[in-house]
Amino acid sequence: MRSAAAKPVGAVTRGTTNPNRLRRQDRWIAHALAPALRRADVAPVAVDLGYGAAPWTAVELFERLRVVRVDVRMVGIEIEPERVAAAQRVARPPALTFRRGGFEVPLDGGERPMLIRAANVLRQYDEDQVPDAWARLCGRLAPGGLLVEGTCDEIGRRQAWVTLGPEGPRTLTLAAHLASLERPSELAERLPKALIHRNVPGERVHALLRDLDRAWAAAAPYADFGVRQRWLATTRALATTWPLADTPSRQRLGELTLPWPAVAPH
């Protein structure tokens, strides 16, 4: 059992948050994690790590996961005591709780979560600190569990995240509000910390964004049929040279997922 006096691992984030900011991540997580949640023998635990100055993201993810598994338990974890205290007004013990902590992910009785979501947490860290943070968090996962780590803009129109299992990184997902997207490379500003400084010639993620922009430009005639059709035409063209890891049904939502080795830094 972790001592209540132990210092949480990590640093306080800016805490910026808005209702529904992470809805694109939420719906992706609910879809990707649904089989593991339904198979769990006991009520699965999910963690929203570093939820920020207001608890909206933890509450919203909890509600969306409950559609998949009604007895899921959500723990919002924050390193700042005042944020934890303020979140108690929306807690619903034992299903939705909030506590102080950091990358050590303190849970009762040594529990291991099926999900850890860390959104806009590592953005403030140095790139060389990311592998240790990933390893700490992945080491806390339950078998079959998932770590989702990434960033988004203030209202959630541009998002990117890496998914990791206990063995390490698996995929990169880009997600956008298509109606406000001028070109896919706008997502470069929201790349996870492990990739954001790698958007330079010679790196795979730079080549991906370059090819996305080219395919988007070539698909301009499809805009007459709506931005969704233009995006689908873009992803079809991209799939001829890149190993996409999702389906058209997910891509229709403005998403694009690739295996991590396709974009991993050199």
Q: What is the DSSP letter of 142?
A: P
**Residue 154: pLDDT band with limits 50, 70, 90:** very high
- pLDDT tens per residue, range 118-145: 999 999 999 999 999 999 999 999 999 9
Give Cα 24 to chain centroid, integer Å.
9
Residue 17 clears pLDDT 90, i.e. is over it: no
Residue 1: CB atoms within 10 A of its CB come to: 7
Query: Can you tell me whether residue 182 is helix, strand or coil?
Result: coil
- pLDDT tens per residue, range 41-58: 999 999 999 999 999 999
- pLDDT tens per residue, range 220-236: 999 999 999 999 999 99
φ/ψ of residue 61, rounded to 5: -65, -40
pLDDT score of 5: 53
Query: What is each CA distance from 64 to 7, 41, 60, in whole angstroms?
Result: 31, 20, 6
Which domains, and CATH codes, for the chain? 23-261 (3.40.50.150)
**Residue 2: pLDDT band with limits 50, 70, 90:** very low
State the average pLDDT over residues 65-83: 98
Residue 266: CB atoms within 10 A of its CB come to: 6
Q: Beta 96-100 vs 146-152: how paired, if at all? A: unpaired
pLDDT score of 167: 92
Residue 4 clears pLDDT 70, i.e. is over it: no
Q: Which residues pair with 97 in a beta bridge?
A: 75
